[in-house]
């Protein structure tokens, strides 16, 4: 973490990894990516991986049976492997896992600190894939070098309760863990605008027939402006995030500007959808 005159910063990397259906192979792929990121960007403090990234998200005809086979307790083999990685490279690591708690399956995101300790476990509470049991509705926060981060998983972002909780808590960085095949940069900008926080999106890339994951990664600032992104391959993107505390007046002004951006982004998305329908109608 560097501390320039304007305030402290946090350098983060977010990853679109191609998971294997075998978590053992996925863990080694994750380890290789962590080593590469630290080698190429030694200033990185946090490496963020996507939702249930140690295995496939969907397996046609046997999704529940598959997740029951690969699910692990927390702590367990995968958290222990990631703990060794975090200690070895002196970084925080955030990653998604299929968690087994007794007979219950959860879609969980784990954050491990540079000492190898589990700082937080967030269990997805807005469930669309009924393979998993919803976790308790809660705001999961974690301190990363003095930066206040919140953790959410994919559809959790639809929760108005969570939106308000993140804004009330004055979160610096939202770590959004996704398994998403969308490619809309505007949609991710809109997501970031709602939180009044930097938003770091991790994803997956590859084929899980019949699904294709395009691996859209984004990092947006407090106004939802795109700072870096990637799509279309297994990769990572890196960004230095300034973390500055501001007073109530400046925060209110920033939120007004963000509200204006929400209107513009929604208008652009609706305009694009209408134009696409018109083109389709002409083609028909």
Predicted TM-score (pTM) of this structure: 0.88
For all residues of the chain together, what is the average pLDDT? 89
When pLDDT is cut at 50, 70 and 90, the band that residue 249 belongs to is low
Q: Across residues 143-165, what is the average pLDDT? A: 96
* CATH number listed for the domain at residues 8-245: 3.60.110.10
The pLDDT assigned to 244 comes to: 72
The pLDDT assigned to 58 comes to: 92
Over the stretch 97-144, which tens digit does the pLDDT of each residue have?
Answer: 999 999 999 999 999 999 999 999 999 999 987 899 999 999 999 999
When pLDDT is cut at 50, 70 and 90, the band that residue 6 belongs to is very low
Q: Across residues 9-25, what is the average pLDDT? A: 97
From CA 124, how far away is CA 115, in angstroms rounded? 25
When pLDDT is cut at 50, 70 and 90, the band that residue 193 belongs to is confident
Over the stretch 164-180, which tens digit does the pLDDT of each residue have?
Answer: 999 999 999 999 999 99
Which residues have CB under 8 Å from 235's CB, separation 6+?
15, 16, 205, 215, 217
Q: How far is CA 244 from CA 60, 82, 172, 193, 239, in A?
A: 46, 30, 8, 17, 16
Residue 278 predicted with pLDDT over 60 = no
From CA 259, how far away is CA 39, in angstroms rounded? 39
């Amino acid at each position: 973490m560097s501390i320039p005159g304007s305030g402290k910063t946090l350098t983060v990397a977010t990853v679109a990894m191609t998971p294997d259906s075998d978590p053992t192979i996925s863990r080694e792929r994750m380890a290789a990516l962590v080593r590469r990121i630290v080698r190429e960007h030694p200033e990185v403090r946090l490496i963020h991986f996507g939702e249930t990234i140690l295995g496939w998200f969907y397996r046609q005809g046997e999704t529940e049976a598959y997740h029951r086979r690969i699910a692990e307790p927390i702590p367990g083999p995968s958290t222990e492997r990631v703990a060794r990685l975090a200690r070895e490279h002196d970084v925080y690591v955030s990653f998604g896992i299929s968690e087994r708690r007794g007979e219950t399956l959860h879609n969980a995101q784990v954050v491990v600190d540079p000492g190898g300790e589990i700082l937080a476990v967030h269990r997805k509470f807005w469930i669309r894939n009924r393979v998993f049991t919803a976790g308790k509705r809660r705001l999961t926060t974690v301190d990363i070098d003095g930066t206040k981060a919140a953790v959410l998983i994919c559809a959790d972002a639809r929760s108005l309760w969570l939106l308000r909780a993140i804004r009330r808590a004055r979160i610096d960085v939202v770590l959004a863990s996704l398994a998403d095949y969308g490619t809309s940069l505007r949609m991710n900008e809109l997501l970031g605008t709602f939180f009044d926080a930097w938003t770091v999106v991790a994803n997956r890339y590859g084929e899980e027939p019949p699904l294709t994951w395009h691996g859209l990664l984004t990092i947006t600032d407090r106004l939802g402006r795109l700072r870096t992104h990637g799509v279309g391959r297994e990769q990572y993107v890196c960004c230095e995030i300034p973390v500055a505390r501001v007073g109530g007046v400046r925060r209110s002004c920033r939120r007004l500007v963000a509200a204006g951006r929400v209107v513009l982004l929604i208008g652009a998305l609706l305009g694009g959808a209408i134009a696409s329908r018109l083109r389709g109608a002409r083609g028909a």
